[in-house]
Amino acid sequence: MTLPWFDGANYTLCRESPELQGEFREVTDGRVTAGWELRVPERGDDGVPFQFIFVGPTQEHRGAGMRLSIEGGDGTPLPPDAPVRVESYHRTGANLSIFFEGPYERFVQAASIGDGTVPLDRRAEAGEDYVIRVTVSVPEGAPEPDPSAGGSYFELDCVKLWWNETA
C-alpha cells in the first residue's frame, strides 16, 4: 500500500514566491550548478520570526512533495543522472541541512506517471536568516540547466510558521 502525502503543508515555495532571491549559475570543479535561491522572510511587523518546516517521510506518510522541471539552456534535455539537491543553511554557511538529493530523472519519471511530485528525503527546518537552495548540477560541456527559462520551475511544499519564543 502506498502511503499518503503529508497533508499539513500550508505553503508552496516556487519561482513566484516573495522569498525568491533569484536564479544563480556557478562553475566549480568542472561542474555547472544552477538553480534558485530563497531566503526565509525577515521578522513580521509584530517582531515574530518566520520558520519553514520541510516534512520528511514517516511511518504514517511519504512526507511533503516537490515538483521540478528545468530546461537546458540550448533547449536540449538535461542528462537524466543530473544531481538535484535541495538544502538550507544559515546565511553564514553554518547548519547545512540537505533534505533532497537525487537524480533529475526521478522528476521526469514522476511527471510521466502523475503530477511530477517526488517526496523529500528527510525533515529540515529553516528559520531566521536561513537560505534555501534548489540546485541542478551537470558536467561542464553538458547541456546546462537554465532556471530562468520559461518552462523551468520548482514547487516545494512546506509548513510556513510564525513562531514565538518566550523566556
Domain count across the chain = 1
The verdict on residue 6 lying in a domain is: no
Identify residue 126 by its one-letter amino acid code. A
Ordered alpha helix ranges (H), 31-132: 105-113
The confidence band for 24, taking pLDDT boundaries of 50, 70 and 90, is very high
Residue 1 domain-assigned?
A: no
Q: What is the pLDDT of residues 105-145, one digit of tens each?
A: 999 999 998 889 999 999 999 999 999 999 999 999 999 99
Domain that holds residue 31: 11-161
Examine residue 130 and state whether it is found in any structural domain, yes or no. Answer: yes
Give the whole-angstrom CA distance, residue 154 versus residue 17. Answer: 11
Residue 56 placed within a domain? yes
The pTM of this model reads 0.92
The pLDDT assigned to 130 comes to: 97
* Domain annotation covers residue 5: no
- The C-alpha angle with vertex 56 and arms to 48 and 22, in degrees rounded to 5, equals 60
Strand order in the sheet with 20-28: 20-28, 31-39, 130-139, 83-90, 97-103
Domain-located, residue 149: yes
Residue 3 lies inside a defined structural domain of this protein: no
Q: What is the CATH number of the domain that holds 88?
A: 2.60.120.1180
Mean pLDDT for the stretch of residues 59-81:
92
Percent of the chain scored above 90 by pLDDT? 83
Per-residue model confidence (pLDDT) at position 77: 87
Q: Is residue 25 part of a domain?
A: yes
